[in-house]
Amino acid sequence: MELRIDRQAMVPVVQQIVDALAGWIRQGAVQPGTRLPSVRQLAKDNLLSQSSVFEAYERMIAQGVLAARQGSGFVVAEPPIVVTHPGDKPWYEGAEANWERFTDSPLGELKLGCGGLPESWRESDDLSYAIREVARTDMAGLFNYSTPLGLPALRQQLHKRLKHINIEVDEGRIMTTHGASHGLDLIVRTLLKPGDCVVVETPGYSNLFDLLRLHGITLLEVPRTPRGPDVEALERLLSRHQPRALFINSLYHNPTGSSLTPTIAQRILELAKAHGLLIVEDDVYADLQSSAGTRLAALDTDQSVIYVGSFSKTLSSSLRVGFVVASAEIISRLAEVKMVSGMGASRFCESVLCGLLANGAYRKLVQRQRQRLSGDMASALQVLEDAEWQVFGRPSGGLFIWGRSQLCDYPRVRTLAQQCGVLLSSRTAFSPGGEASDWLRINVAYASDPRALRFFQATALPDRRQPS
Amino acid sequence: MELRIDRQAMVPVVQQIVDALAGWIRQGAVQPGTRLPSVRQLAKDNLLSQSSVFEAYERMIAQGVLAARQGSGFVVAEPPIVVTHPGDKPWYEGAEANWERFTDSPLGELKLGCGGLPESWRESDDLSYAIREVARTDMAGLFNYSTPLGLPALRQQLHKRLKHINIEVDEGRIMTTHGASHGLDLIVRTLLKPGDCVVVETPGYSNLFDLLRLHGITLLEVPRTPRGPDVEALERLLSRHQPRALFINSLYHNPTGSSLTPTIAQRILELAKAHGLLIVEDDVYADLQSSAGTRLAALDTDQSVIYVGSFSKTLSSSLRVGFVVASAEIISRLAEVKMVSGMGASRFCESVLCGLLANGAYRKLVQRQRQRLSGDMASALQVLEDAEWQVFGRPSGGLFIWGRSQLCDYPRVRTLAQQCGVLLSSRTAFSPGGEASDWLRINVAYASDPRALRFFQATALPDRRQPS
């Protein structure tokens, strides 16, 4: 068996062996019980050390993909694997090419599937004032490094905001980061190691999948339902694969817009306790919350939840300020890695945010955003209903609707979008395994634009289409 | 043999085995040729998998620490190892405790050994103006993510500055970072892997040692001479251990203040070419350069040098803006990791720096700093000569002098410093292996303070002391 190991690649050799074997099992639909080559043989065929092959086999046994059978060596285990694979391309290719996801489209199309608020919603007065205040009065804010956990005054403000959403933690359990992605990166690099398994939601957040793969983590998929992750599927994954962590959006899940119910939340916490599972709750849409919401961090009594927040979605993506909440012991480890790997966050940006939280300007900003989004959400759901789209649950707020045109013909839908000047979300970005989907992420803040309305109208089934 | 492996620790088990065995060999002054326990025995004694032990032995053979002998298994290799060890404490302990290195001392002592310019040197007018300009006129600077490589206008300015110091690279080979430490972290996590060996200078920069250890990299020490690293020692390390990279301060080395000579630079580049060695040139004191300087990146014709720069030492540590220069292929890989692990740098901070570079304010700022430092360097060298200190080379500029009192009695020197209200640099921070040294880093910008002068005077040998 030839594995095509690349010794120059970023991915460690053992992980490459694991990936290659998982690919072989998956693509060839290999039956449970099928015998693998011996360690010696596979090492010889691929000029590998036996210890590398042995370690790869051991890792796959730990993952439940392989089993060791007395007398017949290593065999493919039952049940069939659910382990997902990284894409075919090396993960580091295309940094610039992928960037178009985040920047304006060159032809000025409407970014109906994008992840943030439109430029037209931006309010610069308060932000600009807060910046000028720091520049005028705060010498430490202009010049100094911040502290390992982040500016104490800012953590005090975060503490107050968290209390409002029933997350009661003292300031020593809050640490600032360069945005939520940086928080997730610190968590992954500090608490996980290559070869670990974690559970991610499918569909889910593509940058998280890339981040986990970068660290050589194996992704197990749990389907997202309109009420949260499928807890029965989760329980099966926990029993079978002993994953180290679950990554989850409780509120206004990206991309489906769905939110966790209290029942599901309680069940997840029970499972976490029983299986020693770490929960990483990514709550970047927290401040858009317009009705009651359920958060794992608020219900958590065992400090098994690590909570990640950000101001990139509401205030500014430019300042790069987010935060992590965890047990004091974990925060201390994360802080050390944060300092060693970058000497902390920007004190200037921390001070600006602190000013906006302290003077109430941020609170009023997100209040306006919430009100506007509530209206947009209601209209968008109505428009999609009129166009007979299938909608995933019925989001109670936030930015996203996950929907599918009844045309059931993706190339046709994409052509219609192009004709209307609309850019759709990626078909493959939200799947941990990179599978193409007909479901689209709709950002409701863009959905009332005339181009979007024309597009939805065009996708209505012919007999339902309004006469023009 | 009991290795005390901690399965909960951050450090991978194989690395722990390597560290424990290296410690045993070093501390017991074990003779070359001494036989190690068999893989089976060591695994059994420590409840480890044989494959982990085997991998550790293989890694130590690759490092030249062990050798495999026909018939007698694994033995300690000759020559004696130079591999350095991480400290006894887990690397992540003490994040808050270590912080005092960077913050003001509670008793208001003079931080004679610190790494930056004094607060009294700060000039806020131009910085404050640049910040207000971005806040007033630059909507993208207020709100947007930056691009993977960093703001194009800023990279254009960096391109021009680099040209002035004879580093000619197009803008596609420059990438911004959150300061130099973040640049080093991206380089290490993208281009090295756990178990790799690299060469670091001794004495050297403690945060770099911590960073490399965090990634499970083994440090080989090359002594720093007043003209650069000891190239003969470097050559021996290259032949024996095949390290992947050399980390170096060419100009105004931290902590010795010494600078690379053209002859040594040329020899290092030849060695790098012959041994396929990557050079990481950390040039954070570049803008303090007051006379001709030699940089590897300027002489490099093979793109084997990765160059790291920063504005934290001159303009502000709060903004967190630095940059990396490398081949286009490496920059593309670093940019992908930068985006996946944190969605890029702060566009706001990039825009502020760009403004200061474009309007000439930064150029004038560092000109003033250089002039002032030149005077301080000359006075400090004179004061140390009067006090009969031993000085490492004779720095031609920059912030640091590496010196040792003739008292040869460190506790006495520290007591004198305390009596004079002076805080000394750490005794162990500059050694990759954490060994205590009598040599001290003197920051010349602090050395003309009356407390420093009193301290130097007090350390003069009794018969040389000025009558008071």
The 10s digit of each residue's pLDDT in B158-203 is: 999 999 999 999 999 999 999 999 999 999 999 999 999 999 999 9
Chain B hits for A127, CB-CB cut-off 8 Å, are: 135, 142
- Render pLDDT for A217-268 as a digit per residue (tens, 0 to 9): 999 999 999 999 999 999 999 999 999 999 999 999 999 999 999 999 999 9
Tell me the chain B residues in contact with residue A320 when contact means C-beta distances shorter than 8 Å.
178, 342-346
Does A318 sit within 8 Å of B348, measured CB to CB? yes
Report the complex ipTM.
0.81
Which residue of A lies nearest to B345 if distances are taken between CA atoms? Answer: A320
* B343: nearest CB among A93, A179, A346: A179
- Reported as a pLDDT band with limits 50, 70 and 90, residue A365 is very high
pLDDT at B103 over 60: no
Q: In the prediction, which pLDDT does B334 show? A: 96
The least confident of A73-87, A205-219, B13-27, B263-277 is: A73-87
Task: Determine, for residues A144 and B91 on separate chains, whether the beta-carbon distance falls below 8 Å.
Answer: no
User: Per-residue pLDDT averaged across A141-159, rounded?
Assistant: 95
Q: Name the residue facing A127 among B102, B142, B179 (closest C-beta).
A: B142
Say how far apart CA A243 and CA B355 lie, in whole Å: 48
Q: Is B348–A343 a contact, with Cβ atoms under 8 angstroms apart? A: no
**How far apart, in whole angstroms, are the C-alpha atoms of residue A328 and residue A169?**
10
Do residue B55 and residue A51 have CB atoms under 8 angstroms apart?
Answer: yes
- pLDDT tens for each residue of A383-412: 999 999 999 999 999 999 999 998 888 899
Task: Give the chain A residue nearest B119 (alpha carbons).
Answer: A143
Decide if pLDDT at A83 tops 50.
Answer: no
Given this model, what pLDDT does residue A93 score?
A: 40
* Cβ pair B145:A211 closer than 8 A: no
pLDDT-based confidence at residue A59 (cuts at 50, 70, 90): confident
DSSP count for chain B of H helices, then E strands:
17, 15
Give Cα separations from B12 to A332, B17, B37, B128, B216 (angstroms): 19, 9, 21, 46, 8
Contact check, Cβ <8 Å, A135/B128: yes
Contact residues for B82 (Cβ-Cβ < 8 A; gap 6+)? B220, B221, B237
A332 to B149: CB separation less than 8 angstroms, yes or no: no
Q: Which tens digits make up the pLDDT trace of B1-48? A: 888 888 877 678 888 898 888 877 766 667 778 888 989 999 999 999
- DSSP state letters, B238-256: HHHH--SEEEE--SS-TTT
Gap from B335 CA to chain A (nearest CA, Å): 6
A343 contacts B320? CB cut-off 8 A: yes
- Is the pLDDT score of A451 beyond 80? yes
Handedness of CA A57, A58, A64, A70 (dihedral sign): positive
A85, A89, A93, A95: CA torsion to nearest 10: -60
Chain B residue with the nearest C-alpha to that of A135: B128
Kindly state the average pLDDT of the residues A19-29.
75
State how far the alpha carbon of A428 is from the alpha carbons of A70, A112, A385, B13, B397, in Å. 41, 16, 25, 36, 55
Considering only A76-90, A213-227, B352-366, which range has the smallest mean pLDDT?
A: A76-90
B307-321, pLDDT tens digit by residue?
A: 999 999 999 999 999
pLDDT of residue B455: 97
The predicted structure's pLDDT at residue A464: 54
To probe the interface with B, which of A278, A327, A336 has the most B CB atoms within 10 Å? A336
Shortest Cα–Cα distance, A394 to chain B (Å): 30
Residue A90: band (very low, low, confident or very high) from pLDDT cuts 50, 70, 90: very low
In angstroms, the CA B276 to CA B243 distance is 9
pTM summary value:
0.81
**Interface test mutation site (partner B, options A52, A137, A346, max chain B beta carbons within 10 A):** A346
Residue B464 has what pLDDT?
54
**Residue of higher predicted confidence among A33 and A221:** A221
Strand partners, A35: A75
Average per-residue pLDDT for chain B: 89
* Contact yes or no for A45/A37 (Cβ under 8 A): yes
**Which pLDDT belongs to residue A30?**
74
Contact between chains at B340 and A96 (C-beta distance less than 8 A) = no
CB contact under 8 A, B95 and A144: no
Picking from B51, B132, B348, the nearest residue to A54 by CB comes out as B51
Question: Can you give the pLDDT at residue B142?
Answer: 95
Residue numbers in A near B349 (CB within 8 A) = 346, 348-349
Q: Which residue of A has its CA nearest to B8?
A: A191
Residue A341 and residue B10: Cβ atoms within 8 Å?
no
User: Does A210 sit within 8 Å of B340, measured CB to CB?
Assistant: yes
Q: Which residue of B has its CA nearest to A314?
A: B143
- Nearest chain B Cα to A139, which residue? B124
Q: Which residue has the higher pLDDT, B209 or A78?
A: B209
pLDDT band (50, 70, 90) for residue B61: confident
- Check CB contact under 8 Å for B320 and A335: no
To the nearest whole Å, the CA of A365 is away from the closest chain B CA by 14
